[in-house]
């Protein structure tokens, strides 16, 4: 089967990474969580006091130290997925907390941060056979991806999912608090100047408010099978 690039974009907590992991597992592809990369840079900013009391990022200071920030991935032998590594330290767990979640939109709005992350995302995906999820993958990182998905889901469903994710890690927040944080992040993601979250014209919308994980996977595998069929048809006509 021809190796392709699969770009998955959408709002926060729409189940992008769950679907991306399942797809990568099924197809034997690499999964790259680009949100984790922006989260790792945010963690660096917190650790290095680049956040002021008003919770603003000391932007120029962060830009100045960007060459010192190395974000990579390493395979976790238990989960069989890649964990994000910040300057040699596995931070997969630390980046999922509320503090990073509430600051990451500010960090990911900085042009220089995005340029650095996008360059490394393109390098990670250059051999195809990759499922990458984020906000600008189909529009900016891989505008020629063979398959683009744009995921949406009901805000209540999303907040509940995120709340469950937090509580499974021993962090307890009210549904309202989680929903507010999500919607704030959506607003920041769609309204920023640099590569805002938008749906690519050729993306397939997937609303998973009422779909099980299996149903979503089945839906996408069917899309991929159709793609392979179309590309074989095209080749046979040339």
Chain residues binding ligand DC by CB under 6 A are 12, 34-35, 38-39, 104-105, 108, 134-137, 185, 189
**Residue 89: CB minimum distance to ligand DC, A:** 18
DSSP one-letter string for 148-160: EEEEE--HHHHHH
**Residue 68: CB minimum distance to ligand DC, A:** 20
**Residue 70: CB minimum distance to ligand DC, A:** 18
**Residue 136: CB minimum distance to ligand DC, A:** 5
Residue 29 or 38 with smaller CB distance to ligand DC: 38
CB < 8 Å & 24+ apart, contacts of 222-230: 223/147, 224/4, 224/6, 224/27, 224/147, 227/4, 227/146, 227/147, 228/1, 228/2
Spell out the residues 6+ positions from residue 108 whose beta carbon is closer than 8 angstroms to its own.
Answer: 38, 41, 42, 114, 135, 189, 192
**Residue 116: CB minimum distance to ligand DC, A:** 12
Residue 35 or 125 with smaller CB distance to ligand DC: 35
Residue 181 or 220 with smaller CB distance to ligand DC: 181
**Kind of pairing, strands 71-75 and 82-86?**
antiparallel
Residue 104 or 147 with smaller CB distance to ligand DC: 104
Residue 103 or 225 with smaller CB distance to ligand DC: 103
**Kind of pairing, strands 5-10 and 89-90?**
unpaired
């Amino acid at each position: 089967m021809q190796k392709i690039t699969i770009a998955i974009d959408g709002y926060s907590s729409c189940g992008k990474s769950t679907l991306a992991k399942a797809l990568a597992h099924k197809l034997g592809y690499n999964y790259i969580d680009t949100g984790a990369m922006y989260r790792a840079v945010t963690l660096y900013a917190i650790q290095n006091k680049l956040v002021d009391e008003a919770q603003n990022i000391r932007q120029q200071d962060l830009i100045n130290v960007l060459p010192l920030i190395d974000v990579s991935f390493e395979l976790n032998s238990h989960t069989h997925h890649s964990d994000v590594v910040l300057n040699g330290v596995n931070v997969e767990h630390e980046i999922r907390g509320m503090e990073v979640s509430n600051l990451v939109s500010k960090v990911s709005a900085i042009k220089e941060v995005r340029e650095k992350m996008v360059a490394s995302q393109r390098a990670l995906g250059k051999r195809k056979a990759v499922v990458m999820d984020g906000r600008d993958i189909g529009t900016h990182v891989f505008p020629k991806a063979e398959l683009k998905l744009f995921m949406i889901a009901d805000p209540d469903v999303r907040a509940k999912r995120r709340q469950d994710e937090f509580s499974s890690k021993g962090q307890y927040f009210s549904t309202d608090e989680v929903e507010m944080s999500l919607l704030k992040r959506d607003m920041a993601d769609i309204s920023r100047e640099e590569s805002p979250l938008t749906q690519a014209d050729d993306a397939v919308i997937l609303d998973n408010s009422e779909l099980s994980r299996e149903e979503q996977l089945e839906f996408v595998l069917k899309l991929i099978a159709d793609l392979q069929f179309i590309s074989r048809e095209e080749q046979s006509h040339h």
